[in-house]
């Protein structure tokens, strides 16, 4: 079974972590949990 990274919060920080984790290890499964209705939008 592959490795999964779960990120709490889909703002700029969460999206940056997701991108960097995928660059570091493309085989990672990335899951972002966002409590709001939108991810990484510009205020
Ligand atoms: C009005 C305003 C205007 C701004 N304008 C600019 C700008 O023009 N340029 C700029 O560079 N910066 C701007 N900023 C700053 C920028 O928004 C922040 O620096 C940036 O959003 C921080 O990103 P973050 O991912 O650390 O936090 P956040 O953007 O706060 O993201 C955190 C996310 O986590 C989610 N979350 C929290 N708790 C939970 C939980 N328990 N479970 C699931 N999800 C959860 C929240 O819903 C949120 O989406 C502005 C900020 C504000 C308030």
Domain count of the fold of the chain: 1
Taking the centre of ligand 1 as the mean of its atom positions, its distance from the CA of residue 1, in whole angstroms, is 33
pLDDT digits (tens, 9 = 90+) for 1-43: 799 999 999 999 999 999 999 999 999 999 999 999 988 877 6
Give the position, in ligand 1's atom list, of the atom nearest the Cα of 43.
3
Domain that holds residue 21: 1-43
CA of 12 to the centre of ligand 1 (A): 6
pTM of the model: 0.84
Q: What is the pLDDT of residue 39?
A: 86
Nearest CA to ligand 1 atom 6: 43
The protein residue with its alpha carbon nearest to ligand 1, atom 30, reads 11
Can you list the pairs that 7-14 forms with residues at least 24 positions away whose Cβ atoms lie under 8 Å?
A: 7/31, 7/32, 7/33, 8/33, 9/33, 9/34, 9/35, 10/34, 10/36, 10/38, 10/39, 10/40, 11/39, 11/40, 12/40, 14/39, 14/40
């Amino acid at each position: 079974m592959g490795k999964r990274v779960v990120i709490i919060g889909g703002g700029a920080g969460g999206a940056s972590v997701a991108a960097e984790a995928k660059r570091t290890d493309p085989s990672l499964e990335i899951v972002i949990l966002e409590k709001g209705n939108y991810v990484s939008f510009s205020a």
